[in-house]
């Protein structure tokens, strides 16, 4: 919203008579001096303003921007806007009153109105501003959106985000805003009716907004979604479906660079989403996906993606979903590339997660763009990457694993191998990247492993050959680890030099660690760090 105000202000400021009123003690006197100059734009910078002059007589004024820093609401005279009929842009945050100044209705040419952080019991007067195209009430203490707002048929942007006290939106108000392109309601209103005809707005009304390109919204119950939820192809959206307490993972509270983001939280019947054409379309086009406390879901791919493999997803966070066994489930039910654009994967508190990728992947772009993986408190996870998944991780840069008690290795076998008649190649244990020396994870720069108590070795020697970019290695509180690199099958010492770019090494609370790479090479006694690495190493 503020970006829009800035663009309009710059446009008007290119003309003459733009006045930035300084922070002076006698504001009323300074305003009188400014009015005498017949301004077209006035900006009052950040200050603690409790009360404004009685009125402004500025017939040519087009833009008025006010920035307040006061702790309490600002009082405004009923006559303040008299003589300002030419005003087009008004930013007026922090008004505290039972109703808006009656003179606001005189602003018949107003196109942009920003009333953020206001405390208003009645905003019906805004309905008189028929030329209004942009209306922002973000963070305002209002409890209802009255029927009069439906008269703003030219409105293109409506911002009701973070209106925590908003409980009532009169039925058919939103559907009358036929020119609306951007609707922001995140972290605010959630009292949607399941069907039309109730005392509140219905989600069905969104289907009539045929110009809508941007939507931020909360739907507390997946069962109230209409059959074709969001019938238009949105360009940008942040949508939360499901109920539960607000927390740090809520995408409507956290700034995200993604233009298309969804959060599914506390949903007991996820099949409802796949039965809805609108939500299926949104999930297929989503860039950021947050899954929390879902029930009845054993794998993300094929149970939530309608067999499409999330073709546009860039970031995935899954947390507190106790029934999830795999992120990618049976490949027999997924005949496409999975996560071809995924850049970041976070898996947290998945108490029954066994594998990230259960099936052998095709020789395709699945996971090929993954750069960051963070796994925390997944205590049944036995290994991070399957053989076929590891082959595709050429862009992987950072790995962090914490509190995964059953983790035994970084790379493990594909649990399910599809028949060769489907065009796949069978992979045996001796064909995996570890034994072949295939260059996987060749761009990995940072690895952090904490509290993985069944892990004995972090890397096989064949894998180490591809880790030439590794710069940061940290291993803490792993009770069973015996060595960082497993070289038990290595016959000679001539190929031993590894991690040529490593400059940070931290090894903490590893009671069984006897060597870095092999039984003969004990770290602190028989081998100096300089013989392992070309750059400086820090031991902690």
pLDDT of residue 298 exceeding 50: yes
Residue 346 or 425, more confident: 346
Q: Quick one: pLDDT band at residue 530, thresholds 50, 70, 90?
A: very low
- pLDDT for res 437: 38
Q: Which of 57-61, 316-320, 364-368, 384-388 has the highest mean pLDDT?
A: 316-320
Q: H-helix or E-strand containing 273?
A: helix 271-274
**Lowest pLDDT segment from 1-5, 225-229, 425-429, 450-454:** 425-429
pLDDT of residue 435 exceeding 70: no
Find the mean pLDDT for residues 183-205. 90
**Lowest pLDDT segment from 93-97, 117-121, 175-179, 380-384:** 93-97
The contacts found for 122-127 with CB under 8 angstroms, 24 or more apart, are: 122/98, 122/146, 123/99, 123/149, 124/148, 125/99, 125/100, 126/100, 126/152, 127/151, 127/152
pLDDT of residue 109 exceeding 90: yes
Instruction: Find the Cα–Cα–Cα–Cα dihedral 292, 297, 302, 305, rounded to 10°.
Output: -30
260-287 pLDDT per residue, tens: 999 999 999 888 888 888 888 899 999 9
Helix (H, G, I), strand (E, B) or coil at 383: strand
Please tell me the CATH superfamily of domain 1-212, with its number: Ribonuclease Inhibitor (3.80.10.10)
Residue 224 tokens read as 């109230």
- pLDDT for res 29: 75
pLDDT of residue 358 exceeding 80: yes
Give percent of the chain with pLDDT exceeding 70.
78
- pLDDT for res 5: 52
DSSP for 461-513, please give it: HHHHTT-TT--EEEEES-TT--EEEE-TT---STT----TT--EEEEES-TT-
- pLDDT for res 47: 62
> pTM (2 decimals)?
0.84
What are the sequence ranges of the domains in the chain? 1-212
**Lowest pLDDT segment from 178-182, 216-220, 241-245, 290-294:** 241-245
Query: What is the rounded CA–CA span in Å between residue 446 and residue 63?
Result: 51
Residue 213 tokens read as 């390109």
- pLDDT for res 154: 97
How many residues are present in the chain?
A: 540
Find the mean pLDDT for residues 419-443. 45
202-258 pLDDT per residue, tens: 999 998 999 999 999 999 999 898 887 776 678 999 999 997 655 544 554 455 677
Could you tell me if 293 and 244 are in contact, meaning their C-beta atoms sit under 8 angstroms apart? yes
390-415 pLDDT per residue, tens: 889 999 999 999 999 999 888 887 76
């Amino acid at each position: 919203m503020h970006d829009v105000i800035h663009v309009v202000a710059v446009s008007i400021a290119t003309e003459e008579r733009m006045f930035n009123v300084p922070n002076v003690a006698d504001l009323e006197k300074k305003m009188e001096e400014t009015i005498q100059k017949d301004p077209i734009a006035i900006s009052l910078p950040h200050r603690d303003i409790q009360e404004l002059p009685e009125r402004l007589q500025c017939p040519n004024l087009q833009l008025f921007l006010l920035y307040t820093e006061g702790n309490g609401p600002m009082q405004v005279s009923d006559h303040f806007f008299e003589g300002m009929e030419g005003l087009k842009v008004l930013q007026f945050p922090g008004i505290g009153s039972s109703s808006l100044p009656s003179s606001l209705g005189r602003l018949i040419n107003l196109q942009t109105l920003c009333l953020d952080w206001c405390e208003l019991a009645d905003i019906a007067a805004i309905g008189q501003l028929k030329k209004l195209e942009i209306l922002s009430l973000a963070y305002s203490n209002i409890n209802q959106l009255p029927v009069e707002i439906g008269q703003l048929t030219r409105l293109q942007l409506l911002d009701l985000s973070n209106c925590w006290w908003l409980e009532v939106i009169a039925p058919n108000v939103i559907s009358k805003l036929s020119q609306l392109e951007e609707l922001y309601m995140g972290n605010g209103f959630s009292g949607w009716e399941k069907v039309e005809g109730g005392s509140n707005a219905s989600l069905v009304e969104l289907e009539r907004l045929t110009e809508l390109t941007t939507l931020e919204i909360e739907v507390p119950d997946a069962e109230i979604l209409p059959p074709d939820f969001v019938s238009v192809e949105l360009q940008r959206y942040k949508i939360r479906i499901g109920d539960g307490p607000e927390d740090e993972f809520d995408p409507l509270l956290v700034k995200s660079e993604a233009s298309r983001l969804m959060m599914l939280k506390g949903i007991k019947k996820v099949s409802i989403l796949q039965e809805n054409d609108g939500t299926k379309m949104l999930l297929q086009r989503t860039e950021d996906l947050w899954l929390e406390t879902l029930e009845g879901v054993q794998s993300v791919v094929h149970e939530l993606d309608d067999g499409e493999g999330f073709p546009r997803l860039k970031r995935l966070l899954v947390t507190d979903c106790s029934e999830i066994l795999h992120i990618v489930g049976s490949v027999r039910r997924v005949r496409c590339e999975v996560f071809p654009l995924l850049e970041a994967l976070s898996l947290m508190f998945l108490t029954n997660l066994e594998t990230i990728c259960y099936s052998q992947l095709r020789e395709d772009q699945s996971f090929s763009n993954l750069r960051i993986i963070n796994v925390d408190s997944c205590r049944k996870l036995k290994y991070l990457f399957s053989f076929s998944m590891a082959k595709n991780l050429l862009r992987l840069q950072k790995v962090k694993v914490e509190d995964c008690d059953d983790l035994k290795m970084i790379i493990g076998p594909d649990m399910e191998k599809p028949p060769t008649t489907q065009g796949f190649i069978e992979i045996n244990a001796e064909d995996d990247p570890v034994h072949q020396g295939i260059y996987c994870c060749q761009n990995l720069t940072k690895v952090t492993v904490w509290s993985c108590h069944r892990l004995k070795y972090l890397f096989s020697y064949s894998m180490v050959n591809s880790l030439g970019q590794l710069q940061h290695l940290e291993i803490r509180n792993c009770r069973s680890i015996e060595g960082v690199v497993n070289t038990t099958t290595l016959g000679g010492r001539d190929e031993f030099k590894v991690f040529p770019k490593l400059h940070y090494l931290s090894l903490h609370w590893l009671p069984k660690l006897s060597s870095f790479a092999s039984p003969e090479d004990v770290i602190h006694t028989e081998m100096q760090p300089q013989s392992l690495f070309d750059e400086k190493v820090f031991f902690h």
